[in-house]
């Protein structure tokens, strides 16, 4: 019980630090090129083709179960908006990674996404800035999308939601513990 109360207060203070530094968070996000994002990019809104692909196929692809797969359809676009291209990856990873996973797992997916974005856009991005923007988008996602989904969850129980919250907030807590939210000037607790 004491652990849960302490954890709640730690998480509350972390979220408060996002709110207190929101101008800085948005400055960092807006320093990066923006694009159309889905803004509800979860497994429920993605249809994946089961056929195996070859490495020569230049279409949209990603790796699952050690085999390349193709996203054949992304639907439910009513929330689409202009944002940093990191947003949909932030959301998707919250929903597909376990409640507690090594920070390197998420980081490796982000680096893979950066490589794919560079390949398909023809641009190169500074890796440190790319990761800082990803982390800033994670802060905004915690404030915006998770709070909205929490309201929905309180009315209609979403069986996957609590794990997604634990996955996302656990990642942010790990970042803070490693000093990787310094761009926020987060003060140690």
Q: How many residues does the chain have?
A: 189
Q: pLDDT tens digits, residue range 15-39?
A: 999 999 999 999 999 999 999 999 9
pLDDT in the model for residue 142: 95
More confident call, 72 vs 87: 87
Region 70-91: what's the mean pLDDT? 91
pLDDT in the model for residue 155: 92
Q: What is the DSSP string of the chain?
A: -HHHHHHHHHHHHHHHHHHHTHHHHHHHHHTS--EEE-S--SGGGEEEE-S---TT--SS-EEETTEEEEEEEE---TT-EEE-TTHHHHHHHHHHS-SS--HHHHHHHHHHHHHHHHHHHS----HHHHHHHHHHHHHHHHHTHHHHHHHHHHHS--TTHHHHHHHHHHHHHHHHHTTTTGGGTPPP-
Confidence of residue 108 (pLDDT cuts 50, 70, 90): very high
Q: pLDDT tens digits, residue range 123-182?
A: 999 999 999 999 999 999 999 999 888 888 889 998 889 999 999 999 999 999 999 998
Task: Look up residue 156 and give its two tokens.
Answer: 């209609």
Is residue 184 within 8 A of residue 24, CB to CB? The reply is yes
**What are the residues whose beta carbons fall under 8 Å from the beta carbon of 21, sequence distance 6 or more?**
184, 185, 186
Select from 98, 41, 46, 49 the least CA-distant residue to 69. Answer: 49
CA–CA separation, 105 vs 88, rounded Å?
17
Is residue 184 within 8 A of residue 25, CB to CB? The reply is yes
Region 50-54: what's the mean pLDDT? 57
pLDDT in the model for residue 67: 55
Confidence of residue 3 (pLDDT cuts 50, 70, 90): low
pLDDT in the model for residue 189: 37
Confidence of residue 186 (pLDDT cuts 50, 70, 90): very low
Say whether pLDDT at 4 is over 90.
no
Say whether pLDDT at 2 is over 50.
yes
pLDDT in the model for residue 21: 93
């Amino acid at each position: 019980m004491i652990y849960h109360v302490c954890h709640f207060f730690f998480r509350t203070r972390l979220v408060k630090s996002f709110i207190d530094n929101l101008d800085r968070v948005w400055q960092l996000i807006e320093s990066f090129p923006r694009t159309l994002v889905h803004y509800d990019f979860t497994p429920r809104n993605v249809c994946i083709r089961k056929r195996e692909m070859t490495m020569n196929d230049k279409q949209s692809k990603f790796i699952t179960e050690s085999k390349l797969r193709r996203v054949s359809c992304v639907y439910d676009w009513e929330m689409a908006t202009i944002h940093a291209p990191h947003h949909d990856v932030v959301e998707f990873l919250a929903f597909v990674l376990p409640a507690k996973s090594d920070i390197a797992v998420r980081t490796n997916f982000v680096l893979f996404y950066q490589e794919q974005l560079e390949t398909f856009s023809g641009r190169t991005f500074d890796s440190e800035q790319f990761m800082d923007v990803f982390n800033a988008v994670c802060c905004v996602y915690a404030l915006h999308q998770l709070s909205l989904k929490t309201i929905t969850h309180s009315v209609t129980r979403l069986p996957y939601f609590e794990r997604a919250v634990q996955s996302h907030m656990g990642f942010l807590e790990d970042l803070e513990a490693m000093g990787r939210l310094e761009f926020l000037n987060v003060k140690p607790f």
